[in-house]
């Protein structure tokens, strides 16, 4: 038997002589409830930043809807991304985080990461159409999503078994080579589609996120095939299919993020960081760095495929150019640099910033150029500006120039914010944002 622990009054935890069995049970129950409440409060305090970010994403659709119904509707359309853009932020942000998992925490840049994104996307699409041997048509999406992710993890092991024999730029280039081989294979493989260059489309009903085989606990996603909710909880609130997809996909991204974060904060994650900082020293102290890198690459590929799978489920179509092409990896690289390498959450913020800037500078759903043309008086638009009217300046220098300004912003980040958004904040706080920021806030409240 173990020794009894100390009680609150300095004695032992033994029952009082006149305490009955029922009273003792009630006392232990109250103590366990107290410990649980302390544990929950400590968890909430330690993860206050995570909870705040999750709350911001949770409240974005109703806040955006309220602003669109207010006198600020024009400004909201011009300067805040719509829900469809935020859905893009979710799955591309998850893909960028999976890229940062291997590249930011081991130091091995995977230029062929689109291979895993495309594998997840195509597996989900082909499984939904009944084209995967051994996976019958009608298999729940959550099962095919995991199967596609496992397959991508296996592909990562095959690629890594060759690539990890190299380092530096040679590793980056050989992963890019593998991805381009798969890209060309998919573009010419008639089995995936009658026109493989254009890709394939998912037929039938929308794919559901939730508990497999339990319709009441699942929600279909997709722009046209997703579920909508009428009179939510009897409150008279209707939720559109786009918003339902936003929350369902967001739940997958949130679970994936915490899973990767848990891995990175485990002893396995510490070895990954040791490999990044000094692989020779990590090997010298007894770690088999090759197998740690292989495992990290497989995990990274797994979550990259999860991102590709939810992209396919929402968009209902995939093609080699929007899944396997090397520029898909380039987008992840850019957003990771903007958000911060080795921060995990940074790539999500980088994706949000990148998509917001692209939305503001584009004219597909409003944007700055449309706002200026429709909001400014004719006299102002016709005003002379260095020999050119303001309207002509807007049409030539703003409208359709999103790639130009995105490139300029990227260069500025590389020059002046090399550690990215979250990395710079972490440096200013001298530690992890999730821990240091609440401490700073409590210090200022005193």
pLDDT tens-digit map of 239-296: 899 999 999 999 999 999 999 999 999 999 999 999 999 999 999 999 999 999 999 9
DSSP 233: G
pLDDT band per the 50, 70, 90 thresholds, residue 443: low
Q: Is residue 216 assigned to a domain?
A: yes
Structural domain count of the chain: 1
Residue 432 within a domain: no
Phi and psi, residue 6, nearest 5°: -70, 145
Q: Which domain holds residue 181?
A: 84-325
Report residue 358's pLDDT band, with 50, 70 and 90 as the boundaries: confident
Q: Is the pLDDT of residue 13 over 50?
A: no
Backbone angles phi, psi at 328, to 5 degrees: -65, -45
Task: Give the helix/strand (H/E) hosting 221.
Answer: strand 218-221
Is the confidence at residue 389, as pLDDT, over 60? yes
Q: Residue 435, SS3? A: helix
Say if 311 falls within a structural domain: yes
Residue-level pLDDT at 363: 67
Q: pLDDT tens across 46-87, in order?
A: 667 778 888 889 999 999 999 999 999 888 888 888 899 999
433 domain-assigned: no
Q: What is the DSSP string of 87-109?
A: HHHHHHHHHHHHHHHHHHHH---
Identity of the highest mean pLDDT range in 26-35, 157-166, 402-411: 157-166
Residue 6 pairs with which residues in a beta bridge?
12
What does the DSSP 8-state code read for residue 208? E
Is residue 92 scored above 60 in pLDDT? yes
Position 119 in a domain: yes
Asked whether residue 233 is domain-assigned, the answer is: yes
Q: Is the CB of residue 123 less than 8 Å from the CB of residue 144?
A: yes
- Asked if 207 and 226 touch (Cβ cutoff 8 Å), the reply is no
Whole-number pLDDT of residue 238: 83
Q: Are 390 and 314 in contact (CB under 8 A)?
A: no
Query: What is the chain's mean pLDDT, rounded?
Result: 86
Instruction: Indicate whether 321 belongs to any domain.
Output: yes
Average pLDDT over residues 306-323: 95
- Is 374 a domain residue? no
User: What percent of the chain has a predicted confidence (pLDDT) above 90?
Assistant: 57
């Amino acid at each position: 038997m173990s020794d009894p622990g100390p009680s609150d009054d300095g004695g032992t935890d033994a029952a009082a002589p006149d305490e009955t069995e029922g009273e003792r049970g009630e006392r232990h129950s109250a103590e366990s409830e107290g410990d649980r409440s302390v544990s929950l409060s400590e968890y909430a305090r330690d993860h206050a930043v995570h909870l705040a970010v999750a709350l911001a994403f949770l409240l974005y659709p109703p806040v955006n809807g309220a602003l669109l119904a207010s006198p600020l509707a024009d400004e909201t359309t011009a300067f805040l991304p719509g829900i469809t853009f935020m859905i893009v932020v979710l799955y591309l942000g998850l893909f960028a985080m999976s890229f940062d998992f291997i590249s930011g925490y081991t130091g091995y840049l995977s230029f062929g990461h689109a291979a895993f994104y495309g594998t997840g996307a195509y597996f989900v699409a082909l499984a939904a159409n009944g084209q995967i041997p051994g996976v019958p048509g009608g298999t729940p999406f959550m099962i095919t999503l995991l199967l596609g992710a496992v397959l991508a993890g296996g592909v990562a092991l095959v690629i890594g078994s060759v690539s990890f024999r190299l380092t530096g730029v040679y590793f980056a280039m050989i992963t890019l080579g593998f991805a381009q081989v798969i890209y060309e294979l998919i573009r010419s493989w008639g089995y995936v589609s009658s026109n493989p260059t254009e890709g394939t489309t998912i037929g039938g009903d929308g794919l559901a996120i939730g508990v497999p085989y339990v319709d009441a606990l699942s929600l279909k996603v997709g722009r046209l095939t997703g579920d909508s909710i009428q009179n939510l909880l009897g409150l008279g609130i209707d939720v559109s299919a786009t918003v339902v997809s936003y929350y369902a996909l967001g739940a997958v991204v949130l679970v994936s993020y915490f899973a990767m974060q848990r891995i990175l904060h485990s002893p396995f994650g510490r070895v990954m960081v040791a490999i990044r900082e000094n692989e020779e020293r990590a090997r010298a102290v007894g770690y088999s760095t090759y197998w740690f890198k292989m495992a990290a690459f497989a995990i990274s590929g797994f979550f990259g495929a999860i991102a590709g799978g939810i992209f396919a489920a929402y968009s209902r179509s995939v093609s080699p150019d929007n899944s396997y092409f090397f520029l898909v990896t380039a987008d992840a690289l850019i957003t990771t640099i903007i958000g911060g390498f080795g921060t995990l959450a940074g790539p999500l913020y980088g994706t949000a910033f990148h998509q917001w800037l692209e939305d503001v500078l584009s004219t597909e759903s409003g944007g700055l150029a449309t706002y200026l043309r429709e909001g400014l008086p004719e006299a102002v638009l016709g005003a002379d500006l260095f020999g050119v009217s303001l309207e002509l300046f807007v049409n030539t220098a703003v409208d359709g120039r999103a790639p130009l300004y995105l490139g300029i912003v990227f260069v500025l980040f590389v020059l002046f914010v090399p550690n990215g958004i979250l990395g710079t904040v972490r440096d200013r706080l001298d530690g992890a944002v999730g821990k240091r920021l609440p401490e700073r806030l409590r210090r200022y409240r005193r």
